[in-house]
Amino acid sequence: MNSLPMLPAIIVDMAGSFIIILLSFLSLRYAWLLIRKQPENFLWGFLFYFCLTLVCFSVSRAVGHLLKQILLISGNQGQWHVLAPYSGGFNTLLMISLAAVSIYYHKGIEGYHAIQQKARSLRDANAQLEVSADKLLKLNLNLEGIVERRTKKLSASEKKFRNFFINSKDMVYFCDSANKLVTMNNSGMEMLGYSMEDEPKLQLQDIFCNREDLDNYLETIIAVGFVEDLEVEFIRADGTVIYVLLSATAIYDDKREFIACEGIAKDLTRVRTMMEQLASSEKMASVGQMAAGVAHEINTPLGVILGYSQLMMDDFTPESEEGQSLQVIERQAKACRKIVADLLKFSRQSESARENILLNEVMEDVLAVTEHSLNMDHIHIHRDLDKNMPAIVGDAEKLRQVFINFINNAHHAMEEQGGGEIFLSCHYEEETNRVVATIRDTGHGIPGDVLAKIFDPFFTTKSVGKGTGLGLSVSYGIIQEHGGVIEVESPVTIKGDNIAGTAFHVKLPVALRETASVTNT
């Protein structure tokens, strides 16, 4: 058998060993370039160490083969036999290292993917944190502006409520569940006649005049949640009673428990007085018509009785029993005729003069007649008559009768207390173009239940024989006939204080044209 030539195999073996070394170093260099480009990439790091192991194995393997061929060609087989075990063991060790690196490659890749997933999660979280941080930064930058705008809105809202609370002419109050008035505006305190120092001590039962009204108010507001247009009576600090229109709303907590209420009260005292005066005026109009008819029917037989009694008195002496009886008939007939005359005046059936007059002159005429009798009873007159008073149109005689009635009533009011003072004043109200005359006394005043009836015909508080109850009714009719009004105060309010007594305010319109002959005296 012919042996095959070994030279081609030796050349291939040596060329392959050289190529293995070259390719392994090229792989190591490429892995090194990848690491430098992405140092944080775990896969490139693993690949670098794998290529490094491969280079070591390739060098060891190729050098072994090259050394073997060189020793064999040079005829040093003995040396190769000595080195061969060491070369094989070293190659085996490197092969095991390369296998170990390859085995842990998959584990490394799994770890790398896990790390990458964690890294992505961290990046996502970081991105969200950056977005949140950006939002917080923008919010922080705009927070001052937002707070300022909200503060302005709250301030404007609070200012509106405060202006309503302070400037309202009606009573505005807040009350807790124990019926204590926590807060009340100045108008409410003035309406009730209290000072602001009294506010912490006031309770609902202190201002409600009737306990039944208070119970009805509390029951309704707790059951329904509000009270609307409830007419009640409040009692002021001085004990006087006012009529108010009350509306209130309940306030609840988060558990719908009643904790407080807020309300508004409007003073209807003046409106109620005006309604009563209107009703009284309508009643007096109807009574006046009836009085006129009765007066005309009675006047004729009264004249006959008076005429015949006077004729019969000529037949008897005044000292005789018949003469004295006829004098009684005559006196009582004249008294009846005076009542009939008052009825006719009340019904305004008599004609009234129309001329320009000065109210100061009328007042002076009245004082000339009444001042002496007033001084006798220790009643002093105080005059305050404006000298620059315009003229009014009316009947001077009837106006004198009106003011004499007022002064006589004041006289009777102070007669029992042994004296007093009467204040007369006249002034011009430019804003209403009216002349105002006021007669005020320091008597005991007029009770509230009587005040609404004083202008009713035949109503009187005087004893029998001292008054017919027509004086104020006739006065009311005369002033109404002159286009004026009468207002009554009892007690009298002066500079915010209530003073005992009564004041009659007569307000008459000024004449459109004053005659040149009328001058102030």
Distances from the Cα of 178 to the Cα of 182, 204, 234, 237, 273, angstroms: 10, 9, 19, 21, 34
Q: What is the mean pLDDT of residues 90-103?
A: 69
CATH of domain 273-346: 1.10.287
Q: What is the mean pLDDT of residues 56-76?
A: 69
Give 54 or 316, the one with higher predicted confidence.
316
Give pLDDT, residue 465. Answer: 47
If DSSP states are collapsed to H, E and C, what string results for 287-318? Answer: HHHHHHHHHHHHHHHHHHHHHHHHHHHCCCCC
In the chain, what percentage of residues exceed pLDDT 70? 72
pTM above threshold 0.85: no
Question: What is residue 6's DSSP assignment?
Answer: S
With a cut of 70, say whether residue 168 has pLDDT above it: yes
How do residues 210-238 score in pLDDT, each as one tens digit? 888 888 888 888 888 888 888 888 888 88
Give pLDDT, residue 45. Answer: 73
Average confidence score pLDDT of the chain: 77
The mean-pLDDT minimum among 186-200, 319-333, 380-394, 413-427 falls in: 186-200
Q: Who contacts 336 (Cβ-Cβ below 8 Å, separation ≥6)?
A: 298, 302
pLDDT band at 436 (very low <50, low <70, confident <90, very high): very high
CATH of domain 355-509: 3.30.565.10
How do residues 7-60 score in pLDDT, each as one tens digit? 676 677 677 777 877 887 888 888 888 888 877 776 777 777 778 777 777 776
The mean-pLDDT minimum among 161-165, 224-228, 325-329, 339-343 falls in: 161-165
The C-alpha torsion from 190 through 191 and 197 to 199, rounded to 10°, is -150
In which element (H, E) is residue 279 found? helix 269-313
Options 3.40.50.1240, 2.60.40.10, 3.30.450.20, 3.40.50.300; CATH for 168-267 is 3.30.450.20
